[in-house]
Amino acid sequence: MTDTLTTAAEVSVSGLTVLYSTDQGELPAVSRASVDLPTGKITGLVGESGSGKSTLALSMMNAVPAPGRISEGSIEVNGVGDVTKLEGKALRRVRGGALGYVFQASQNSLNPLKTIGKQLLDLGRAHDVKDLRELVHRAKELADRMGLDGDRVLDSYQHELSGGMRQRVGIVLALVLNAKVLVLDEPTTALDMLSQSAVLDIVRTVHRERGLTTLVVTHDMGVVSELADRLVVMYGGRIVEDGPTTELLQHPAHPYTRALITATARITGDTATARALPGRPPDLTTVPRTGCVFRERCALAMDVCAETEPELLAWAPDRRRACHAEPTGAEA
């Protein structure tokens, strides 16, 4: 049985399994994932492409695309209940209402044939907002707070905005209905360094000012190293480690986490210490069916790793790991 942490949670994911239909049958993109998003905190969800991060995030909206489906588990949201049980109008109200989602490649979530303002009004009508003028006023205030010209942005089409501006528009639309949980899927992908920095500063500021519970999904450990209060590490559809950001970065307890940190590009210190991870991450068809999913790339792999999948268990206060190897002195 998976240990869970005892901090107050705005979102609690328990035993989540998401299957995708393939030529080889239904295969798990996320397997028995359990994790909490602490109330008022920023949580970073990290891992290589294909690790199951976006699938886990989309599950929080009960929005896993076909041919995928949530087969097991629950996702309890404070004040909402289990979103995996919602459907129809009740689910639509939660999406964009209690839960705000900013998609990767934000331009793909915007209608190129409508101005941002018209899409905002569509959002309001879909959620039965009575005072649409007040909705527009709130959106302009949010846009202005993010360094945008609210009037101009609402009159613009998505192709008239830069990547960084579109990302900020995505945040405006996610929060304008007063969502308490914000999910950002790869918020800095395809942005230049200055735009990345600006977007992350905005996320930090808006999170604090609005008292949000925020999940940042990324493959870039550097993106969340200074932004997140907690880090959750995924590999092969499994959560392999989580804990407070500073502790996890200084003393990683899972071989995969250590490898991710070592592989992170750096411009200060000894740049020669950076090492690429050996091998390639598995996909749905190549992830091991038994044992530890990371064993084929792990320098600490033992016989037991091929036979038994390690459980995600608490090994120190507020920290969990899924590994058969004993924690070292540095980790402990």
Indicate if the pLDDT at residue 232 is higher than 90.
yes
In a domain, 328, yes or no: no
Long-range contacts of 290-298 (CB under 8 A, 24+ apart): 292/322, 292/323, 292/324, 293/235, 293/236, 293/237, 293/238, 294/235, 294/236, 294/240, 294/254, 294/255, 294/256, 297/256, 297/259, 298/255, 298/256
In a domain, 278, yes or no: no
pLDDT band at 47 (very low <50, low <70, confident <90, very high): very high
**Range 252-278 average pLDDT:** 76
pLDDT band at 274 (very low <50, low <70, confident <90, very high): low
Indicate if the pLDDT at residue 231 is higher than 90.
yes
CATH number reported for the structural domain that contains residue 244 in this entry: 3.40.50.300
Least confident of 125-129, 245-249, 270-274: 270-274
- Enclosing domain of residue 221: 9-98+179-251
Q: Please state, rounded to an integer, the average pLDDT across all residues of the chain.
A: 90
Q: Report the share of the chain in percent with pLDDT over 70.
A: 92
DSSP notation for 122-158 = HHHHHTT-S-HHHHHHHHHHHHHHTTS-HHHHHTS-G
Secondary structure percentages of the chain, helix, strand, coil, to 5: 35, 25, 40
In a domain, 170, yes or no: no
pLDDT digits (tens, 9 = 90+) for 208-228: 999 999 999 998 888 888 899
In a domain, 144, yes or no: no
Give the pLDDT of residue 332: 47
In a domain, 39, yes or no: yes
In a domain, 279, yes or no: no
In a domain, 240, yes or no: yes
Give the pLDDT of residue 4: 46
Domains in the chain: how many in total?
A: 1
In a domain, 2, yes or no: no
**pTM: predicted TM-score of the whole model, two decimal places:** 0.90
75 vs 284: CA distance, rounded Å:
23
**Range 21-33 average pLDDT:** 95
